[in-house]
Amino acid sequence: MYKRQTKLEKVLTYIALTVIMLFFLLPLLWILRTSLITKVEAYKIPPNWMASLTFDNYISIFKDNTFGQYFFNSFFIALASTVVSVLLGAMSAYWIVRCARRSDRMKLAILVTQMIPPVVMVIPLSLIVKGLGLDDSYIALIVAYLSFNLPYVIWMLFSHYESIPRELDDACAVDGCTRAQTYFKVVLPLVMPGIMSTAVYSFIVSWNEFMFALNMTGLKTRTLPVAIASLDTQQGVMIAELCAATIVAILPVIFLSIFIKKYLVQGLTFGSVK
Amino acid sequence: MKSIHKHSGDSSIRTARRKDFLLFMLPSLIALMLVLAIPLAYSLITSFFDTNLKYQGLGEFRGLQNYIEVLKDTYFTESVLTTLKFTVCVVVLEFVVGLVIALLLNNIYKARNFFFTIIIVPMMITPIAVGLIWRLLLHSDLGIVNYLLSLIGISGKAWLADSSLALGTVMFIDIWQNVPYMVLVILAGLVTLPTEPYEAAAIDGASRTQSFFRLTVPMMMPTFSVVLLLRSITALKTYDLIFVLTRGGPGTTTEVISYHIYQQAFRYLEIGKASAMSYLLLLLIVPIAFLFIRISRSRTT
Amino acid sequence: MKTNKKRALAMLLALVMLFSLALTGCGGETAQKDGEQSSTGKTTLNILMEDVPDTSCVTALLDQFEAETGIKVNVESVNYSSMHEKILTQMLSSTNSYDIIVVDCYWVGEFAAAGWMAPLDSYIEESGFDTSVYIDSMMDMVGQVDGTTYMLPFYNYMLSLVYRTDVWEEQGLEIPDNMEDYVEACKQITANTSGSMAGAVMQGLRPDPIAMEWCNYLFSCGGDFYDENGNNIINNEAGVKALELYVDNMTNSAPAGAAGFGFDEAFNVMAQGNAASYVTYNWMLPRLENTDESSVAGLCDITPMPGGVSLNAGWGWAIPHNAADKDASWKFLQWVESFDVCKARAIAGGSPTRSDVMSDAEVLEACPYLETVKTIMEDSKMIPIMEDAPQLIEVLGRELSEAVAGAKTPQEALDTLAKEMANMK
């Protein structure tokens, strides 16, 4: 892709990446360690490197606290909301870029909705949800999450569509394709990497969302962030259990990396279509 | 701007256009209306009333009184400056670091997925847990960070309790969590760049730095401006992390706008004032957003 | 076509506005329904509560309640600051997902003003429940408001001085009887051990941790928020003295990061054996005996504040104004606050509010420190019950933190507080 790299450059790149990775990884390793010891060990300084390891924290969050259920709730809600936003948002972004008469104003209008902090949005929204009898239901959160996921997806994809030459669409139109045919057959495959990275992020934001989840869930639909926050109790932070729960909460990264691998690493190169 | 679809004005094209609108736009518009219209209208309306959730109804109509009171509150106006400082620092640093990592990753093939997967993990942790975990790591007396520093002869700091360090510490933790976002988006942009211009540039004998500034930067400009804009908006609204780490302290050194909004809405139940603060925040962001949109459009055309 | 679109948009906007107006109004309807007592014969009760040590004691006994009444009870516990948020939506709606809630002492004024708690007097009368068994200071705080009983005191988390008996003995020191000497002693311990043992560990995080801790300094120095005539005296000599001592202790004897500690971080310093004293919640003492969390088990004790007056605090059980079946909710309250259940909870590590439970021989055998706690509690003071108490705590926390950070002098900080308190109800 670029100019051929020298061996030295390659080695330096890997060294740099390893150092950077450690910056992110070391705190994570500490979380892992903390999840396997007791609270009194967790705060020992100098650290007791020989502390005996225990799975009690994991047992406690799964047995006493049904984190399995919370994990499923979070996963289902985040995935559903992401899928819906990507399906709707990808098409709308395309329409705004290619067809809208006042695209700037539309862009700004969508963005403006994201500037009001969720703190003020959550009260009216959860009152509506409660009024409709939808509190403690999956659908409430899935729809509520569209309020930030959908604008995000639309906005992220603008630049991806804009980077595709308009002539491509026009050529298809000349060939007799409808807008929809052009979109699904020609444009969509080209923006797949963009869609995937957008979807990954929108999944993660839904996965981490706290305020809507706090106000709209009950015991049945409680999500991981709410459950994790409730480990910060009025009898102390259950730091060891909290770390165990955090380790569980980062597991979907394995699931995400499948998508990442397909679209980022193998990198469908744009140059091949012209 | 001009596409073939627009040229001819006959009615069949117009119906086609309307059909396209129904297919492409309508579902999104309905969804957005459903979830956003009422909360936005509610907060706009209450911003003109003396609404307190303790009492029924909207309360007395106050006109612009809420806005005036908020602007007169020096704690609020100071928090605007803190918010701007926080936003500019974290967005710029996250962007630069994220760009460097994305470029490095884009240069390698082996183990790219491995590095990338590990780097995006911090993003998977809910901000409240991030805050609580960093409180453990940075505990001035019992934290691993100060212990490791003491091993190399640096005396530990009170990271979150020293008013000269607290804001910086919060920024650092925010960067730890949000650089992965920049990497994710920028890398997705980089892998879709066409290869031909680079090959041509290589033949012309351009150096790596030259092709970065002459090819990569212009081609990536739309992506750059979008991530900067979107990240700025989320950074301006940062609340969870500060709430867990410092609650605005020590003193008022880490008070940001959204902390005030939270305080008014959830602590004092003064939803009218909280809404007024939110709309003031909006007034602050809209011009910046408009500028961004203009700039990114002039670049692409 | 263009005008059509515009008209449609205008219509939509109008609709949205109407709907949102209706939304804000709907709180009104529900409140009027309060008078009628509903009895739907609910078989499941949902409780929204805080995860305090007593919570697990209550949940452990729930099977017993189900066996007695056939009513199943679900306990949902959330993080402290989240609870106030979560209750909001429930209180503003026409129905409530929760049949019973717990109310923190400084939400009481606010909840009472908003009419969110159902009055319990008629239930108490009908069932002959005796509320005189509660310690007066608990009943005044999380029981009655202006003569109406809205809550039954659930749990106390009164603060006082927890200290390391061994360290004070080693240092040849005794717990003084006034705050000035106490701060001096703390500074001396820190100096003697060149910082490896802090004389006091403190919780300087905004807003509740610092506010709650400082109130003990305030009361023990003879200060208060209001005098008997309701005049604001927070910034009088005693108040300023209390804050000067607090800042002095924070700077010269507490660990470096204490100005940012929440109660958990401070607890861990104590639990790791790095501090000699800690003004804190009385429930910390049993936790310091727990070897999974603490390495100083058996070395700590609780004692009255030097100066004698502690801050009392607690939670009360309440039934939301819009609870579906208040009779069933009351049935639970009656059970959970009965002598036998309270005694069982206390022995399991709860934090009792009933006087008869606190002086029960079996309870005292299991938790001997309760005797001290009871005497401290009888002389304690509380944060004034007022509608704007949450504001008071926020502003107090901010100003104290300003003083600790050196951005304001103690006098300036308390003057600002007094000025803002003038607007609070």
Q: Which residue of A has its CA nearest to C280?
A: A235
Chain B interface residues (partner C, CB cutoff 8 A)? 33, 37-38, 41-42, 45-46, 51, 53-58, 75, 135, 139-142, 156-163, 166, 243, 246-253, 263, 266-269
Per-residue model confidence (pLDDT) at position A8: 86
Please write down the long-range contacts of A23-30, taking CB distance under 8 Å and 24 or more positions apart: A23/B176, A24/B118, A24/B119, A24/B121, A24/B122, A24/B176, A24/B179, A24/B180, A25/B118, A25/B121, A27/B122, A27/B133, A27/B134, A27/B137, A27/B176, A28/A250, A28/B118, A28/B121, A28/B122, A30/B137, A30/B144
Of B38, B75, B251, the CB nearest to C401: B251
pLDDT at position C1 over 60: no
DSSP SS3 for B105: helix
Domain boundaries B64-300, corresponding CATH code: 1.10.3720.10
Going from N- to C-terminal start, the domains of chain C cover: 41-157+313-378, 159-309+388-421
Q: Do C398 and B252 touch (CB under 8 A)?
A: yes
Per-residue model confidence (pLDDT) at position C235: 92
Q: Do A170 and B229 touch (CB under 8 A)?
A: no
Of C95, C97, C271, the CB nearest to A218: C97
**In C, which residues are within 8 Å of A214 by CB distance?**
78, 82, 85-86
Note the helical H segments in C348-424. 355-358, 361-366, 370-378, 389-405, 410-421
- Tell which wins on pLDDT, A20 or B294: A20
- Model confidence pLDDT, tens digit, residues C40-75: 577 899 999 988 888 888 998 999 999 989 999 999
What is C41-157+313-378's CATH number, 3.40.190.10, 1.10.1370.40, 3.40.50.740, 3.40.630.30?
A: 3.40.190.10
Q: Do B274 and A120 touch (CB under 8 A)?
A: yes
pLDDT at position A5 over 80: no
Could you report the predicted ipTM of this complex, rounded to two decimals? 0.89
Per-residue model confidence (pLDDT) at position C8: 54
Q: Are strands C314-318 and C159-164 parallel, antiparallel or unpaired?
A: unpaired
Q: Which residue of A has its CA nearest to C269?
A: A43
Chains that touch B (3 or more CB pairs under 8 A): A, C
Per-residue model confidence (pLDDT) at position C15: 52
What is the CATH classification number for the domain harbouring A157? 1.10.3720.10
What average pLDDT does the segment A11-28 reach? 93
Whole-structure pTM value: 0.90
Share of chain C above pLDDT 70, in %: 91
Output the CA–CA distances (angstroms, integers) from residue B279 to A236, B67, B272, in the order listed: 37, 9, 11
Q: How many domains is chain A partitioned into structurally?
A: 1
What is the residue-averaged pLDDT of chain A? 87
Q: Do A95 and B144 touch (CB under 8 A)?
A: no
CB-neighbour burial class of residue B77 (10 A; exposed 0-12, middle 13-18, buried 19+): exposed
Per-residue model confidence (pLDDT) at position A178: 84
Q: Do C23 and A39 touch (CB under 8 A)?
A: no
Q: Which residue of B has its CA nearest to A194?
A: B188
Per-residue model confidence (pLDDT) at position B220: 87
Of A40, A135, A233, the CB nearest to C51: A233
Per-residue model confidence (pLDDT) at position A273: 38
Per-residue model confidence (pLDDT) at position C34: 38
The C-alpha of B163 sits at a distance from chain A's nearest C-alpha, in angstroms, of 24
pLDDT band at C226 (very low <50, low <70, confident <90, very high): very high
Per-residue model confidence (pLDDT) at position C203: 94
- Model confidence pLDDT, tens digit, residues C171-204: 999 999 999 999 999 999 999 998 889 999 999 9
CATH 1.10.3720.10 in chain B, residue ranges: 64-300
Q: Which residue of A has its CA nearest to B198?
A: A2
Does any domain span residue A18? no
pLDDT 10s per residue in chain B (301 long)?
344 444 445 677 778 778 888 888 888 888 888 888 888 998 999 999 998 988 888 888 988 999 999 999 999 999 999 999 999 999 999 999 999 999 999 888 788 888 988 998 999 999 999 999 999 999 988 999 999 999 998 888 899 999 899 999 999 999 999 999 999 889 888 887 888 888 888 888 888 888 888 888 888 888 888 899 899 999 998 988 999 999 988 999 999 999 999 999 999 999 999 999 999 988 888 888 888 877 766 655 4
Per-residue model confidence (pLDDT) at position C28: 37
Closest CA to C77 of B181, A231, B136, A148: A231
Is B172 part of the contact surface with chain A (CB cutoff 8 Å)? no
What is the residue-averaged pLDDT of chain C? 88
Does any domain span residue A234? yes
Per-residue model confidence (pLDDT) at position B112: 84
Per-residue model confidence (pLDDT) at position A265: 57
CATH architecture of C159-309+388-421: 3-Layer(aba) Sandwich (3.40)
- Tell which wins on pLDDT, A74 or B208: A74
Does any domain span residue A263? yes
Per-residue model confidence (pLDDT) at position C73: 93
pLDDT at position A175 over 70: yes
Share of chain A above pLDDT 90, in %: 44
Per-residue model confidence (pLDDT) at position A149: 93
**In C, which residues are within 8 Å of B141 by CB distance?**
255-257, 269, 272, 274
Q: Which domain holds residue A121?
A: 64-272
